[in-house]
Amino acid sequence: MPLKSSLRMLGLAAVLALGPAAAAFAQQSADPGKPSRSANSDAVERLTLAARLADEGRRAASPLALAAAAELTGATAVRDSGLTKASEGAAAAASASGGASEPAPAGYGDSVLGTGAELFAEAAALARAASNEPLAAQIELAASAQGARQPAAGHGGRHRDRVSPNTTDIYTVRYNANELARATLIAGGNFDLDLFVYDSAGNLAAYDNDSTSIGICVWTPPQTGDYRLRVKNTTANYVNYLILTN
């Protein structure tokens, strides 16, 4: 089967596989009604799916899953969102009392969601490790073809950081009224971080506190305003992460 057809089938299978998860998001979020979609929200959605495909591709040693992740990532523009962080918990208390500062970040969640070129290269290497040279060659052709294409409209806002042990990092992000809002948290390694979203009145708008390294929140703001994104680390480890917002 040609790689392009394989990727389309894999993308459909991925969407179907995310069906139960989508239902869980609906339970965890405000009633979305019929929100408008934006190019930026769609970009975050593509990057989120790419992260999940990359994660599962590595777990299952699947070159096709990684290639599908590469297609999505390479087709999506990303910008640094420049978010300002506040913290509460163990790290904040140590800083206030003059304690040692945390180590410099290194690696981030980019270890999960690399660039399109990096993911294509990883997929081809995985195919060769399985002695599937024809598939590796097809993946490399797909990588070359994508390099000549322009990204889709919109971009995902990306912030890289590190959360200290037993600490919650807090960000403020403005979202538009009646427009599908997305926030995705991608932890480096196999660490589990939780993501909670609150509106300006302190009401919980969405959350994801499952035991995976990728947290996904989707909701519809009834009015334009600031939302607080809380990245909670309940482990005794420093954890690097990416946070994506539209």
Q: Length of the chain, please?
A: 246
**Burial (CB count <10 Å: 0-12, 13-18, 19+), residue 122:** buried
Q: Residue 216 has what pLDDT?
A: 96
CATH code for the domain in which residue 85 is found: 2.60.120.380
Q: Residue 142 has what pLDDT?
A: 93
- The continuous run of DSSP H or E covering 161 comes out as strand 155-163
User: pLDDT per position in the chain (246 positions), as tens?
Assistant: 555 555 554 444 444 444 444 333 333 444 445 788 899 999 999 999 999 999 899 889 999 999 999 999 999 998 988 899 999 986 565 554 444 445 444 444 456 677 899 999 999 999 999 999 999 999 999 999 987 778 788 888 999 899 999 999 999 999 999 999 999 999 887 788 999 999 999 999 999 999 888 999 999 999 999 999 999 998 888 988 999 999
Query: How many independent structural domains does the chain possess?
Result: 1
**pTM for the predicted model, two decimal places:** 0.79
CB atoms within 10 A of CB 129: 11
In angstroms, the Cα distances linking 119 to 17, 65, 116, 145 are 21, 10, 5, 14
| C-alpha–C-alpha distance, residues 29 and 213, integer Å | 19
Q: Residue 111 has what pLDDT?
A: 60
Q: Residue 34 has what pLDDT?
A: 76
Q: Residue 37 has what pLDDT?
A: 87
Q: Residue 16 has what pLDDT?
A: 41
Closest CA to 244 of 154, 171, 157, 115: 157
Domain that holds residue 39: 3-245
- Phi first, then psi: give them for residue 2, nearest 5 degrees: -55, 150
Q: Residue 94 has what pLDDT?
A: 55
Which residues have CB under 8 Å from 46's CB, separation 6+? 72, 73, 75, 76, 152, 156
